[in-house]
Every structure is written in C-alpha cells, then in structure tokens.
A = this chain, B = another copy of it.
Amino acid sequence: MKHKNGEIWEFENNVNNTTGGVEDAHSDGGVILGLDGGTTSTICICMRVLPFSSSSKLPDPIPILARAVAGCSNHNSVGEAAARDTLEQVMAETLVKAGAKRSAVRAVCLGVSGVNHPTDQERILNWLRDIFPSHVKLYVHNDAVAALASGTYGKLHGCVLIAGTGCIAYGFTEDGQEARAAGAGPVLGDWGSGYGISAQALTAVIRANDGRGPQTMLTNSILQSLGLSSPDELIGWTYADPSWARIATLVPLVVSCAEAGDQIANRILDDAVQELALDVKAVVERLGLSGPDGNGSFPVVMVGGVLEANKKWDIGKEVTACIQKTYPKASPIRPKVEPAVGAALLAWNSLMKETSKLS
C-alpha cells in the first residue's frame, strides 16, 4: 500500500467514526467503489455494502453515499500516467465525500473505456493493488460491462448496446463467456454511432452540393446550426477539429429532418437502426444468448444518447423492434441507474457470490 501520490490520501488522517464516516469494513459492512471511466468523463460512486440475502432484493433507491466526477480516463486518449492520476484522484475524492477511509472499502470495480485486452486489465489491477489494502476485492472491466450491469443490477448476463459518440455491443452468458461487436471507431465502420450518423449526414450535404446525390433538408439545417453559409465551408469546419464527439453532436438535426419527412435523413437513421441491431445480433449469436431454439429470454440493456433520444423518431425503439423480430423474447432494459452504480452493483454481486461459496 505504498504509492507515489501519498498526498491524495492524507485526508484519511482526519476521518473518524464520530463524524459519521465509515472507518472499518467489519463494523458496519463497509463500502464499495464503482467507477465508470470514459473518454469524455469519469464518474465514481461510493455505495454502502448492501446486506446479502438469498433473495438479493435491492433497496430502491440504491444507497449512494457519495459521487465525484473527473475528466478522461481512457489510456488510449491521454496516456497511462494521466489516466491513472484521474482514476486515483476521483476515487479519493469520492471517499472524502463519503467520509470513508480505504480500510472501509470492501470492493472496487472499475469499468474503463480502452480496456480491450486481458493485459490492459492486468496492468490496472496491479496498480490498484498498490493503492488499496489487501482485503479489498478488485475488479476491472471495459466500461461497456459497467453499462450492462447498470441495467441488470450487477448481474453479468445478456447484452448491452451503447450508442453515443461511438457504439459497441457487449454480452455475457451466465457462465461467464463474453463477446463484443463494433466499438472499433469510425475508420473501422461503427456506422450506427452518433459519429457515424453525423458523418453520413455531412456526406449527404456534400453529395447534394456536388450534384452526386439528391437535395436534402440536412443542408439548410446543418449549415444554419453551424453558422456556415455554403456546403464548401463544411470541409474547413470538419477538419479544423475532427474530434468524434464534436461531429456526433449533429444527430438531433438528422432526427429533426427525418421527422420533417426528409428521405435522406430517414434513410440514414434506418441504416443506423439496422447497424445497431446487427451489433447486438452478432453478440447474441456468438454467445447463444437466445438458447438452442432461438426463443430464450435475455436482457438487452440500451444506453447512450443515440438510443435515449426521446423523439417521435425513436432510434432506440426501432432498434428494439428490429432485435425482437429475430429474438421475440429479447427483453429491452433502459437502466434506471448510471454505469458507475452498475459497476458498484457488479462488485457487490461478485462479493455476494464469493461469500455464499465460503458459507
């Protein structure tokens, strides 16, 4: 439990039980940290350990003690050192707010984007072991796994579909097999993502302007929204800052044009629906989630701005319909808690399993 950033944890000297803090994991069950680390932001929550009962029924609302937010913790984006600093600081801040020391922590579960390989996982686990006491259970996953757990309340079963700036489908069988589809970024064809939808809308405007494609309402809608006077200026706008998130912000304009009857915008959204449903179907097939007769039930957790768009043209609803055409018993879930809470519930679920094995 040595660490170079010792000063981050100095607050622990001032924490004691009389201030309402949670000092000892054994005195009252202790706490769990759940973390959702993405490319845009990192969210950490601290949850009191829930009593383990055979029914595993969860209290509503989940008893969150504290929550803290930080920036990017994807090591592919900011480098390993900066990603670790962000992770450590946001965990410490969460414990400060909860008035709890590391000795009160029973488990930590990190869902971090950019964790794509067992070696990524192992590196972060080794680093966490230096920060937390040896009794603390540590879990590291891709952030998609935390999103799945946010819909299943900590149970790793079913498939999650995330469609925000990017998109990915990630699934687990009850016996722990996993599979993913998409999540490979725009160069590698994540066309159902917010970026994918927006890039196709921009392309449609350029094609209409060149005379290579039909006219579309997207032209006026996008130019007006970006404050540009001609489609030629889109080239400069696009490459001045080609960040995926900036381009993905155009999705609501595509939805509005589609609702207004624009055929091009409708075709772009229809294609995105097919792509997103295909991401899920690929995972379901590889894991056999629908059972041997293809008629089994399994959860499909739907997360992200593209699927949440609460509009007449409801992308999430269309994706669900498309999935259920193939798997009638697929059971869509819109999570009521955020992925960081999903991560904490995942840790709680794992703790519970280990405890029941011991008893």
Contacts and interface: CB of A to CB of B under 8 A. Distances in A.
A257 B307 CA distance: 37
A184 B236 CA distance: 9
A207 interface: yes
A161 interface: no
A358 interface: no
Contact of A203 (B188, B207, B286): B188
A278 B208 CA distance: 12
A238 interface: yes
A239 B182 contact: no
A6 interface: no
Pick the most buried of A187, A232, A242: most chain B CB atoms within 10 A of its CB.
Answer: A187
B206 A189 contact: yes
Interface string A236-250: 101100100001000
Interface string A172-191: 00000000111011111100
A279 to B, nearest CB: 7
Contacts of A236: 76
B181 A199 contact: no
Contacts of A186: 187
A256 B180 CA distance: 30
B239 A185 contact: yes
A97 B269 CA distance: 58
Size class of the contact patch on chain A: 20 to 34
A184 B206 contact: yes
A285 interface: yes
A61 interface: no
Interface in A137-184: 180-182, 184
B116 A187 contact: no
A147 to B, nearest CB: 18
Contacts of A211: 181, 282, 285-286
A238 B185 contact: yes
Contacts of A203: 184, 187-189
Nearest to A199: B187
B279 A212 contact: yes
Contacts of A181: 210-212
A181 B206 CA distance: 9
Contacts of A357: none
Interface of A: 76, 116-117, 180-182, 184-189, 199-200, 202-203, 206-207, 210-212, 232, 234-236, 238-239, 242, 247, 278-279, 282, 285-286
Given A116-B232, A182-B210, A187-B242, 11 more contacts: A76-B239, A181-B210, A182-B206, A182-B212, A185-B235, A185-B239, A187-B202, A187-B238, A187-B247, A188-B202, A188-B238
Interface pairs A-B: 10 shortest CB-CB: A189-B203, A181-B210, A211-B282, A212-B282, A188-B206, A184-B206, A210-B282, A187-B238, A184-B235, A211-B286
